[in-house]
Amino acid sequence: MRRLSFAGDDRLRVVEVAGAKWFDALSLWRPTDPDLVTTGAHEVACVLLGGTFDLVGGGTAWPARGARKDAFGGRPMAVFLPPAPPFRTSTGQGELLLVAARQPAAKDAPQGRDALAQKPLLPLAGSGKSFDPNSGEWKPAETFPTAPESLPPRRFDRIPVGDVVVERMFAPDYKAATLSVDEAVVPAGGALRLGDVPGRPMCDETLLFVRAPHGATVEHDGRSETIAGDGVVLLAFDGRDAVVRAGAGPCFVVVSSGGK
């Protein structure tokens, strides 16, 4: 278990995950209006912690996304960003969490129909759909592996784990190459053991973001880290023995799994 530190300013606070196999960085972004970040060579999971924004990922626009005041009230909304596209915000105020992860080693590039099935081509005007040569169907352009995608709350499974409800935003079978992502609010005095969360993938690394205004602890492998405010902890493997324990008030946690 390794505690990581934020650097930066109020607009963009960044945790560099040095020495990790998959994770590159975790960022807290409070955009100006308008504002922009780029994904570079990484895929990115974006979770709207609070506020409402007009968003643009690559060439795809999603107006008025996000509906909760803060991470403790209401259901999440997420965006998947493949490597390379710029990500823009405007007409809003709030906070976003960005988790950037490295890609698996490149395999032989797909050829023919397989290559065409990786990204949206031949868009059907006005439909938001593109042709998939493998299935012979017109599919939503966002569902192609190389396309940015907005995921509303109706796409997420809600998984009860004792007194905690886990929101599964990026399931292990989602198109992301590296990342799986859950979030939860742990009630005051309560605890969430990662090994009790069903359906988490076997993975190489687990990155925890914990927001604990009233304090919390992360316990793993005989060690304990106390968090007051915002904290980030890197765990080896799937962290199944890790426990997030809330203090005198609730704590919010995002569990990112890398290398599924």
- Cis before residue 34, ω within 30 degrees of 0? yes
- Cis before residue 85, ω within 30 degrees of 0? no
Ordered per-residue pLDDT tens for the chain, 260 residues: 999 999 999 999 999 999 999 999 999 999 999 999 998 999 999 999 999 999 999 888 999 999 899 999 999 999 999 998 899 999 999 999 999 999 887 665 555 555 544 555 555 455 566 656 666 676 677 877 889 999 999 999 999 999 999 999 999 999 999 999 999 999 999 999 999 999 999 999 999 999 999 999 999 999 999 999 999 999 989 999 999 999 999 999 999 999 98
Contact, 85 vs 120, CB < 8 A? no
As given in the structure block, the two tokens for residue 215 are 């304090």
Q: pTM (2 decimals)?
A: 0.89
Q: Say what the alpha-carbon torsion angle 145, 87, 68, 62 is, to the nearest 10 degrees.
A: -70
Please name the residue that has the structure tokens 């990204």: 119
Report the alpha-carbon distance of residue 201 to residue 209 in Å, rounded.
18
Nearest to 198 by CA among 158, 152, 225, 148: 158
